[in-house]
């Protein structure tokens, strides 16, 4: 892999920024610099290839669902997880409620839509809501090899204030028994919103992704953070459900299991090979970085990375 | 009309009680005596025909939606009401969320499903949530000609504690703008739950119904409580939407505009003729009094009351 | 009732024509004169009040569903009919297929949507498809007091050629067992299309409606064509389902059980009082005569006809 | 790879046969021997590992959709294909019609559900329906390296006679313009039913799969049958949509892009490595070979084949 080629790819795809818009549902996201564009790739040898705004911080948003799902699988048997959330793709939007009602015995279709992630947090074994949050942020510090990970208080407050849809999803799941009736929905959502507000950059994402590419083992220290089985479940679910109702399209054009977030980040796992982090806050209409996606497509094509 | 015939009708339909079950989603409703069965009919001359447990008190539940809708129409132009709730029947259950997402520009389909009633309360012009409740209970006192109307504190508390589905509906509507973002959903739902907990008996229901049968005017004092236009809107909506997804079936077999509640009450309006109140807490699978419905059918058939 | 007032109402509502469009899905309907507007009211005394283009012929289209449903009820027990079609309103369009899949055990929600009418035709007891058609057209001759009723060969041919959606509905019902597997769907649809192509005018419609207003009895000859029970079922179903997903709106503004057709006709039944036929081919976006509906609303308001 | 290990895997999973049932919707499928179980794996060196009933013939059914989709991509630009069918997974059943109505601008969600495959056949560039069929069967002969491929006349006739659901899907698509109005739906479906009736065995399937594993090139003759781009599109779509609404579950447990058929066959592509054909007519409730799936899972686990 050649840093100059990556630099070319980044610049060649910069033109797509103008096809997207920065998220505006909360003011803190609207303040993002639409022109930002960053890329970081890390391979098994520890070589890192980065360009653009790869050190810029942004909130992890839905990419956190990868870590939440992993944690949920560590605390519960697969059979128990499946009783609460299935692993099937959805052809509706990330915040749709319709599937909760008419399909799948009320289970969220997968852990990468909002309802699924909220249900996963409710299944974490910690006793208090604070402990649930601490556990996730500490896990992110571990996987990103970055002790300085923190969350953005303003984004959190803003998400919390405007989160009616997520409240609807959570209360709906409580009404059908997917979330236990004793759960304090407001406190559960505080954890969810706080997790979404954790700040990362492209290096952090590439480090996290690399652990999944290596089946749960830190390739440098050889430390195992989770089992190969858990890793494969998470990566397969990313491949099928990571990009919402655009997952099929992206499997065809990119072929690298990925999870995007509304802040403009993309976390991509190339099994046995590399971890990729991308940032570009201008989003397409599905809520994914528009230029980021084009960069990922170009990288996949240039280096023949599709797993299919 | 002959009281003995009504007594016979009541006794002949008592056998249907065993086909139903008392509501159990809160303990207070589960305590109802399944065998209770009452009927009260009041006509324009002020003659009252009553039998069975017609003085027994029960909570008004969804029958309150008739008064809430009326109040909403008094406070807002029809055009404004229609922007928030349409007047169309639904073929899904009373607490379904799916229609909010896929149909009708996110508006509740009608004011007699939970979402519609909650939206109507949010449109009342009172400044505080307490005032909204006071206005509705006072209106019920007025229409039922009963100053002693009160609400059941235990039922209210119980509804409030278990109301996840209604929270989901309300937050969903807030997320789509049907309910304003500044509304305190929890306080709005307290009003909704408290209204549902107002206690009435069959006489109260028949009095309320009679006002609607007389196009908004108290037939005895000649006092007008609301316009003929509002009355016709409400009664027509009862005819089409009052019995949830069983409205068509009941139009065919009974032909009297009605609204049922999960406590086992039925409020029925026979335009220009009479008001009817029925009570029987054993419910069919749609949440309507099973024997009560059969009594209504028999009364309609016996006295040839269908409006169609 | 005064013919001059009706004439005024017709002229005052003529302005709404420009808000509508003539149906264009087949060329024969597109040839209608958008400016046509006719009204005919017939009461129990045999008095007829008519104005405008009340003698103009047009195809009966969906108004035929009233007669098809009636015939189906004559041939089968209510219980058997209900196994195939329910009597519930729909909040989706007249040719929607979604409700057939997800609701109601695959039954069409009511006999006045296309799927419901097609299912009703399949339940007629005649042995041959030709006999099914003959039976319906003869029944229409009888009810309209018009021996000269015929069908439009060109409209029929055109409907048949372009009827993919109706084929989809019929085959779908066959696949779920609502229509028997031995039924020749193509021949069944020929009957359906031919029935829709029967030509009537406002007088014919008002005569048909009058029989229903009189509970199945010809008020002049006292001949009974169908039972009071059947009549009430059909009229109640018109009230709740006759105007597709606009039925609630029209109950509120008009309050007269009606059935519209895409040719621009409206057939309205005022129980115990009168039959109404209206014609105006400019349609609103639900497929109902836009000025015709306004005329019906004005007539209802002027003469205080709402049944609610 | 060791033939003895495969033999053990096959025998160890034989017990799952009793959890499934042979398809019965046509008599010809019901005649299958429920106990049959076969496996064939072919690798890039041409080594073949086969056991059980790997030479038994069965109809290709939905596995043909892989070849139909490939052919469609060869005849049309990706952009044109996408106007007719998207590449997104579905969470509803293979023969569901609901998604055609409410999602995705009426396009079938992917080419591996019935509607998608029928739409793909309509896009083939051949002039006659016979030529469309000839083209597909000849392509299957080419990819399976088997000149003797034929179709089962009885299965074809039976599918044709009972195919109401597929007729509904096809006519629905014609009504929305996904299939052109000039297409003779009956003849188009004859092609579809005939393609589904083509007979193959496990060896044929493994040969076909191997071409896809090798990106469109016959690994022995080096002949290219289709481009790498087309191959990756098809394999990615298999990974996401190949197993209907169980695709996510199978990605997680197996991790090999696959397509199943209701005859009990499974065609699996392991990119750059091997082609797999499995047969076992006892189906799970999703319509996939129940023991076949368990064999695939065991093979994947034993030889660490998951691509994720």
Q: What is the rounded distance in angstroms from the CA atom of residue A73 to the CA atom of residue B37?
A: 53
Residues ≥6 apart with Cβ < 8 Å to D237: A248, A251, A252, D69, D87, D110, D111, D112
* Residue B145 confidence (pLDDT): 97
Contact criterion met (CB below 8 Å) for C140 and C64:
yes
| Partner residues linked to B279 by β-bridges | B38, B265
What is the mean predicted confidence (pLDDT) over A75-100? 82
Among the listed residues A16, A151, A244, A279, the single catalytic one is A244
What is the mean predicted confidence (pLDDT) over B11-20? 97
Instruction: Give me the residue label for tokens 């009941």.
Output: B250
Contact criterion met (CB below 8 Å) for A32 and A264:
yes
Q: Using pLDDT thresholds of 50, 70 and 90, give the confidence band for residue C106.
A: confident
Residues ≥6 apart with Cβ < 8 Å to A12: A298
Does residue C63 have a pLDDT over 80?
Answer: yes
What is the mean predicted confidence (pLDDT) over A126-155? 97
Residues ≥6 apart with Cβ < 8 Å to D27: D158
**Phi/psi at A57 (5° precision):** -90, 145
Task: Provide, as residue numbers in chain D, all residues whose Cβ is less than 8 Å from the Cβ of C97.
Answer: 97-98, 100-101, 168, 172
**Phi/psi at D120 (5° precision):** -65, -45
Here the tokens at position B50 are 């009553």
| Partner residues linked to D305 by β-bridges | none
DSSP A255: -
Does residue B28 have a pLDDT over 70?
Answer: yes
Closest partner residue to C87 (CB to CB) among B90, B110, B248 is B248
**Phi/psi at B273 (5° precision):** -125, -60
* Residue A17 confidence (pLDDT): 97
Identify from D91, D93, D97 which residue to disrupt to test chain C contact, counting C C-beta atoms within 10 A and taking the largest count: D97
Question: C96 touching D, CB under 8 A?
Answer: yes
* Residue B103 confidence (pLDDT): 61
Active site residues of B: 62, 65, 192, 244, 262
Strand, helix or coil for residue A305: coil
pLDDT in tens, B242-252: 998 889 999 99
Here the tokens at position B45 are 């001359």
Here the tokens at position A133 are 């949050």
Task: Provide, as residue numbers in chain A, all residues whose Cβ is less than 8 Å from the Cβ of D209.
Answer: none
* Residue D118 confidence (pLDDT): 97
* Residue A250 confidence (pLDDT): 95
Residues ≥6 apart with Cβ < 8 Å to B94: B62, B112, B113, B114, B244, B287
Closest partner residue to C255 (CB to CB) among B103, B232, B249 is B232
Q: Count CA atoms within 13 Å of residue A70 on its CB side.
A: 29
| Partner residues linked to D276 by β-bridges | D41, D268
The three state secondary structure string of B103-116 is CHHHCCCCCCCHHH
Here the tokens at position C187 are 């021949």
**Phi/psi at B235 (5° precision):** -65, -40
Question: D106 touching C, CB under 8 A?
Answer: no
pLDDT in tens, C225-261: 999 999 999 999 999 999 988 899 999 999 999 999 9
Q: Which chains touch B (3 or more CB pairs under 8 A)?
A: A, C
Cβ pair B165:A172 closer than 8 A: yes
CATH topology of domain C64-196: Beta-lactamase (3.40.710)
Cβ burial of A148 (10 Å; 0-12, 13-18, 19+) is exposed
Q: Using pLDDT thresholds of 50, 70 and 90, give the confidence band for residue B25.
A: confident
Residues of chain B with pLDDT > 90, as a percent, come to 88
Cβ pair A171:B174 closer than 8 A: no
Task: Provide, as residue numbers in chain B, all residues whose Cβ is less than 8 Å from the Cβ of C308.
Answer: 232, 235-236, 239, 257, 271, 307
What is the mean predicted confidence (pLDDT) over B300-308? 97
Instruction: Give me the residue label for tokens 């790997």.
Output: D54
Q: Using pLDDT thresholds of 50, 70 and 90, give the confidence band for residue D61.
A: very high
* Residue D103 confidence (pLDDT): 62
Residues of chain C with pLDDT > 90, as a percent, come to 88
Q: What is the rounded distance in angstroms from the CA atom of residue A150 to the CA atom of residue A140?
A: 10
Residues ≥6 apart with Cβ < 8 Å to D24: D30
pLDDT in tens, B122-153: 999 999 999 999 999 999 999 999 999 999 99
For A183, which residue in chain B has the nearest alpha carbon? B164
Degrees, nearest 5: CA angle D101-D105-D106:
40
Identify from A91, A92, A99, A101 which residue to disrupt to test chain B contact, counting B C-beta atoms within 10 A and taking the largest count: A101
The H-or-E segment that residue C21 falls in is strand C21-22
**Phi/psi at C265 (5° precision):** -85, 150
Cβ pair B181:A174 closer than 8 A: no
Q: What is the rounded distance in angstroms from the CA atom of residue B94 to the CA atom of residue B86?
A: 15
Question: A77 touching B, CB under 8 A?
Answer: no
Q: Using pLDDT thresholds of 50, 70 and 90, give the confidence band for residue D211.
A: very high
Strand, helix or coil for residue A41: strand
Q: What is the rounded distance in angstroms from the CA atom of residue D148 to the CA atom of residue D150?
A: 6
Q: What is the rounded distance in angstroms from the CA atom of residue A34 to the CA atom of residue A55?
A: 16
Minimal CA separation from D180 to chain C, in Å = 11
Which residue from D55, D3, D44, D40 is spatially nearest to D210, judged by alpha carbons?
D44
| Partner residues linked to B278 by β-bridges | B39, B266
Q: What is the rounded distance in angstroms from the CA atom of residue C65 to the CA atom of residue D145?
A: 57
Minimal CA separation from C230 to chain B, in Å = 9
Cβ pair D308:A236 closer than 8 A: yes
Here the tokens at position C257 are 């059980």
CATH 3.40.710.10 segments of chain B: 3-61+198-302, 63-196
* Residue B93 confidence (pLDDT): 65
Question: For residues B106, B112, B114 and B116, what is the CA-based torsion angle, rounded to 10 degrees?
Answer: 30
Here the tokens at position C153 are 């060969």
Distance of CA C287 to the CA centre of its chain: 12
pLDDT in tens, D143-183: 999 999 999 999 999 999 999 999 999 999 999 999 999 99
What is the mean predicted confidence (pLDDT) over B56-73? 98
Q: Using pLDDT thresholds of 50, 70 and 90, give the confidence band for residue A244.
A: confident
Contact criterion met (CB below 8 Å) for B191 and B183:
no
Does residue C101 have a pLDDT over 80?
Answer: no
Among the ranges B105-119, B242-256, D263-277, which has the highest mean pLDDT value? D263-277
Task: Provide, as residue numbers in chain D, all residues whose Cβ is less than 8 Å from the Cβ of A247.
Answer: 88-89, 240
Contact criterion met (CB below 8 Å) for D48 and D41:
yes
What is the mean predicted confidence (pLDDT) over C62-90? 94
Minimal CA separation from D6 to chain A, in Å = 22
The H-or-E segment that residue D86 falls in is none
Here the tokens at position A255 are 């072929």
Report yes or no on whether pTM surpasses 0.90.
Answer: yes
Here the tokens at position A72 are 């949920």
Does residue D99 have a pLDDT over 80?
Answer: no
Q: Which chains touch A (3 or more CB pairs under 8 A)?
A: B, D
CATH 3.40.710.10 segments of chain D: 3-61+198-302, 64-196
Contact criterion met (CB below 8 Å) for B65 and B238:
no
Question: C102 touching D, CB under 8 A?
Answer: yes
* Residue A88 confidence (pLDDT): 86
* Residue A104 confidence (pLDDT): 63
Class of the CATH domain delimited by B63-196? alpha beta
Residues ≥6 apart with Cβ < 8 Å to D41: D1, D6, D48, D49, D50, D206, D274, D275, D276, D277, D299
Minimal CA separation from A233 to chain D, in Å = 5
pLDDT in tens, B264-297: 999 999 999 999 999 999 999 989 999 999 999 9
Annotated ligand binding at C254? The verdict is no
Does residue C94 have a pLDDT over 90?
Answer: no
Q: Which residue has the higher pLDDT, B246 or B300?
A: B300
pLDDT in tens, B150-202: 999 999 999 999 899 999 999 999 999 999 999 999 999 999 999 999 999 99
Contact criterion met (CB below 8 Å) for B219 and B270:
no
Surface of B (160-199) touching A: CB under 8 A: 162, 164-165, 167-172, 174-175, 181, 185
Residues ≥6 apart with Cβ < 8 Å to A171: A185, B164, B165, B167, B168, B171
Q: Name the average pLDDT for chain D.
A: 94
Contact criterion met (CB below 8 Å) for B79 and B242:
no
The H-or-E segment that residue C294 falls in is helix C290-302
Contact criterion met (CB below 8 Å) for D263 and D58:
yes
* Residue B165 confidence (pLDDT): 93
Cβ burial of B127 (10 Å; 0-12, 13-18, 19+) is exposed
What is the mean predicted confidence (pLDDT) over D62-81? 97
Q: Using pLDDT thresholds of 50, 70 and 90, give the confidence band for residue C42.
A: very high
Q: What is the rounded distance in angstroms from the CA atom of residue D227 to the CA atom of residue B112?
A: 59
Does residue A200 have a pLDDT over 70?
Answer: yes
Reduced to 3 DSSP states, what percent helix, strand and coil does chain C have, rounded to the nearest 5?
A: 50, 15, 35
Q: Using pLDDT thresholds of 50, 70 and 90, give the confidence band for residue D92.
A: low
A244 flagged as catalytic: yes
DSSP A198: B
Contact criterion met (CB below 8 Å) for D252 and A87:
yes
**Phi/psi at D21 (5° precision):** -135, 145
CATH of domain C3-61+198-302: 3.40.710.10
What is the mean predicted confidence (pLDDT) over A264-279? 98
Minimal CA separation from C301 to chain B, in Å = 10
* Residue A98 confidence (pLDDT): 66
Task: Provide the strand spans (E) within A153-297.
Answer: 199-200, 258-260, 265-270, 274-279, 282-283
Degrees, nearest 5: CA angle D173-D179-D184:
105
* Residue B33 confidence (pLDDT): 96
Active site residues of C: 62, 65, 192, 244, 262
Does residue A90 have a pLDDT over 80?
Answer: no
pLDDT in tens, B65-111: 999 999 999 999 999 999 999 988 876 666 666 666 666 668 888 99
DSSP C54: T
Annotated ligand binding at A244? The verdict is yes
Q: What is the rounded distance in angstroms from the CA atom of residue A107 to the CA atom of residue C218?
A: 57
Closest partner residue to C171 (CB to CB) among D96, D100, D171 is D171
Question: D127 touching C, CB under 8 A?
Answer: no
Q: What is the rounded distance in angstroms from the CA atom of residue C87 to the CA atom of residue C71?
A: 15
What is the mean predicted confidence (pLDDT) over A279-287? 95
Annotated ligand binding at A156? The verdict is no
D192 flagged as catalytic: yes
């Amino acid at each position: 892999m050649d840093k100059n080629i990556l630099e070319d790819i980044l610049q060649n795809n910069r033109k797509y920024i103008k096809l997207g818009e920065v998220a505006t549902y909360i003011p803190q996201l609207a303040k993002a610099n639409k022109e930002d564009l960053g890329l970081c790739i890390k391979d098994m040898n520890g070589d890192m290839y980065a360009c653009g705004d790869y050190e810029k911080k942004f909130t992890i948003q839905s990419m956190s669902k990868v870590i939440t799902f992993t944690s949920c699988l560590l605390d519960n048997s697969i059979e128990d997880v499946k009783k609460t959330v299935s692993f099937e793709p959805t052809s509706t939007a990330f915040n749709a409620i319709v599937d909760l009602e008419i399909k799948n015995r009320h289970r969220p279709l997968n852990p990468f839509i909002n309802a699924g992630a909220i249900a996963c947090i409710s299944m974490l074994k910690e006793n208090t809501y604070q402990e649930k949050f601490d556990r996730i942020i500490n896990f992110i510090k571990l996987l990103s090899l970055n002790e300085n990970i923190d969350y953005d208080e303003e984004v959190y407050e803003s998400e919390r204030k405007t989160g009616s849809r997520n409240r609807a999803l959570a209360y709906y799941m409580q009404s059908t028994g997917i979330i236990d009736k004793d759960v304090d929905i407001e406190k559960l959502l505080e954890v969810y919103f706080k997790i979404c507000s954790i700040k990362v950059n492209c290096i952090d994402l590439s480090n996290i992704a690399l652990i999944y590419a290596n089946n749960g083992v830190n390739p440098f220290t050889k430390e195992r953070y989770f089992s190969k089985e858990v890793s494969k479940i998470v990566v397969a679910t990313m491949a099928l459900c990571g990009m919402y109702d655009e997952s099929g399209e992206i499997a065809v054009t990119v072929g690298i299991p990925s999870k995007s977030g509304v802040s403009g980040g993309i976390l991509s796992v190339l099994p046995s090979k590399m971890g990729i982090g991308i940032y570009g806050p201008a989003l397409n209409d599905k809520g994914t970085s528009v230029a980021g996606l084009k960069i990922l497509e170009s990288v996949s094509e240039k280096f023949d990375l599709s797993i299919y």
